Structure 1
Amino acid sequence: MPARDGTRGRVHMPRCAIAGVEATVAETARAFPRHSHDRFGVGVIVSGGHKSASGRGPVEARMNDTIMVNPGEVHDGSPLDERGRAWHMLYFEPSMLVSAAAELNATEAREVELTQPVAHDPLLKHLFERLFAMAVQPSARDDLACEQALVELVAHLLSAHATCRATGHARMLGTSSVATIAHAKARIDDDPAAPLTLADLADEAGISRFQLLRAFAHETGLPPHAYRMQRRVVLARQLIARGVSLADAAAAAGFADQSHMTRAFVRLLGVTPANYAAAMR
C-alpha cells in the first residue's frame, strides 16, 4: 500500500523486478529536506512542477522533464505550487552504471557523474517509461526485452547525460583535507549505528571539532549528524529489504526506537518503513 501524508499525497515503492534497481511512484505536495541517496536516480515528472537545490545549483522541472541525481549528491525538493507534483523514479546501484561505462568505453572502471539535474529529452523520457513499466509490472514483462530496455536506457544516459573519468580525483578541498574527511565519512559508513560524537571524529582526524564540522559539510554537503542519520536510514532500509523486523532493524541501525526510525524514514524517503517492507515482500 502507498504511504499517505494526510492530504499532501503519497509516496509508494512498488516491488521492482530488476536486481539492483528500486522504483518509486510519488504524488505529493511534501517538501523534502536536504538529503542524498546512495544510488543514481533517474525519473520523469508526470504532472505538476518540482524545484530543488543541490551542488549543481537551483533547478526546476516540469511535466515530461527527466530528473537525475548522483549518489551522495545533497539536494532538497519541493513543489512549484500548492498543487504538488507527481513523478516516477528508478534508483540504480552505482556499480551498474560504472560497469556499463567501462563496457561502453572499453576501459578500466570509471567514475560516473550525471551532469544535468533536469533535462528535456524526449528519447530519455521514452526509454525511462518503457523500462519503468517493465520493472514494476513483472507479470507482463519479457526478460530479454527488459534487459534490452535497461541497456538502451543506460547507454543513452551515459552518452548524453554523463561524464566518465578515472577514479581517484580529489575535489573541492586540498588532498590532505579530502583524506581527513574521507576517513571521518568512512567511520560513519562502516558503522552508522555506532554512537560516535563530533569529538570522536575530530580526535581521530587530528583537527578541532569546528574544523571537522566545517570541512565535513563542505565536502559532503551535510553536517556529520545529518549524514549519519541518512546512513542509518539506508542501513535500516537494507535490513528491512532482507526481511528483518521493523523493531530489530531500528535497533540495529542505531535508532532510539521504531518510532524514531519511522520519523527519519518518512522525512528522507517519504514512505514509512512498514510500507517499504510491504513493497519488498
Structure 2
Amino acid sequence: MPDNTNILTTGSTRWIQPRQPEKDPLQSKNLRTQNRLAFLVGLVALCLPIIMILGARLDGGCYRDSISHYYYAQVLGSIFVGLLSFIGGFMIAYSGEHWVEDTGSFIAGVGAFFVAIFPTIGNGCEDHPGFLSRVFVQYHSGPPDRVVPMPDGSFFMLFPDVGDVHRMAASVLFIYLGVYCLVVMRRIVPERHVRDNRLIESKRRRNLVYGICGYTILGCVTLLACIGFLTGPEFKVWWNQWNLTFVFETTMLWAFALAWFTKGRQFKWMNDPAPV
C-alpha cells in the first residue's frame, strides 16, 4: 500500500483490478467516450432536482416531499422519468474494467429504471391547497362513459405494493452508487497510480473526493431508512413539511454527480500526469 494514504484516500490494490491495466487509460478511445458519458450522467444528476424545483415554482408552488413524487406532476413527471431512464441506460451500458463492476452497474441501472417506472405512493403535496397532477383512474366504457374512483381512493398508486418496489429499487441504486465510489473508484492500480512507493497526488485527490461522496451517499441512505422505519407519524409530518427527503435525495444526487465529474476527468488539477 502506498505510504501517503488515509481512510479517505486509500483504495484496494488487489480487488476489482482492471483486466489489462494501462498506464494511461485516457488514451483509450473507449474510455474517452465513457468519460464524456460520465460527464453527461453527472450533469443529469446535478440538474434533476434543480429542474424539479424550478418546475414546481412555475406550477403553482407545489414542492413535493421527495424527488420521486414529481412523477405525478403533469409535465415534470415525464421529465423525471426521462432523466432517470437516461441514468439507468448509462449504468446498464457502462463497460467497466472488471466483471464485478459491470454486473453491479447493470443491477444499478435496472434499479434506476424501476425507480422511474414504478412510482412512489402519495401525491407528496398533502398540505397544498390545490395542484395539477397525473393520477391513476379507472375508466368504464358503455352508456354512460364514466371515470370512477379507484378502490380505497388509491389515485396515486399503480398497484398495491408499488411503494415497496420503488423503495427497494431506490435502495439498490443508491447503495450501489455509494459502494462504487468507495470501492471501485478508489481502487489503486499500481501501474497508473503508484510512483516511488507513493500514491501520486492527483489520485490521492480523486480518492478524497470519492471517499467523501461515497460516505455521503451511504450516510443519507441510512438516515432515510431510519426515518422510514423508526419514526412515528407526527415526526414524519414535520419531516415532510420541510421536504427533508427531497433535501437528502438531492444531496445524494449531487454527491453522485461530483464523483462522476471527477471520474470523467472534468477537473484538470485532479488529472494524472503523463506516464513515464
Specify if TM > 0.5: no
Task: Answer 1 or 2: which has greater helix percent.
Answer: 2
TM-score of Structure 1 vs Structure 2, range by shorter chain: under 0.3
Give the TM-score normalised by structure 2: 0.26
- Which structure's CA Rg is the greater one? 2
Give the TM-score normalised by structure 1: 0.25
Higher relative contact order (CA 8 A, sep 6+): 2
